[in-house]
Structure 1
Amino acid sequence: MIESDSGSSAWYPIELFEVVAGRLPVNWRFGTRDEGERWTQAIWGYPELVDDPSYNVDLVECEASAVAVFAAQVAAYRKEVAEE
């Protein structure tokens, strides 16, 4: 899940990315999912995204509480990067 140009959250396939800096935010986690070959199999991200599969549904459906968590995580990451 990344922040799109419009500021909303969006999923994009891994093939579109190249890792140029392997650093991740300190609070991020890794988890596996069994959603089938065409869907999520593994995930890196902030705790709500990794630990709660229903959170992703809420985020895709733009539920206010999920969007607020996403926005807070984006802001925290930007602050962390700015302080480096």
Structure 2
Amino acid sequence: MPDDYHGLYFTEQTIFHLVLGKEYEVYEMGMFNCGLIVLIIDSTGQPDWYPLDLFEVVVGAIPSDWIFAQRTGGPEGMTAVWGHSRLAGDQALDESLASHDEGAVAVFWNEIFESQNSRSAE
């Protein structure tokens, strides 16, 4: 490991709300503490971030409507994201979503709904 690697800070007591063998759609990816994390809808029915290491990538395509954005989290925070333009393009909104802010979660659901509708119309 590089000297500046900080890890994702999960412990043996961390509970991952995932179902073994289930396929999860990724709604955003991020570089956090030098590790890749993905935003999924977990078994609680809510969007949350998980380390990519917990998953096997089945389809590696990135949606054409995603954007890339840098973040100002520094070496121990979020430094980059890939995802829907409204979420990835607004750092404050994205941070509020990570904190499960009700308004940010509502924007997430709206973005997902609009994105899925536009893809099915193509």
**TM superposition score normalised by structure 1:** 0.70
Q: Which amino acid aligns with 1:66?
A: A
- Contact 1:30/1:50 (CA < 8 Å) preserved in 2? yes
Q: CA RMSD in A?
A: 2.5
1:53 equivalent to 2:78? Answer no
1:31 to 69, 74, 89: 69
In 2, the alpha carbon distance for the partners of 1:78 and 1:43 equals 20
Identity %: 34
Q: Which has the larger radius of gyration?
A: 2
Number of paired residues? 83
Of 27-36 and 60-69, the range deviating more from structure 2: 60-69
Deviations 1:33-53 (A, max 9, x none): 231233222211111221111
Q: Calculate the TM-score normalised by the size of structure 2.
A: 0.53
More helix, by proportion: 1
Higher strand share: 2
Give unmatched runs, 5+ long, in structure 1. Answer: none
SS in 2 for 1:11: strand
Q: CA deviation at 1:12?
A: 1.2
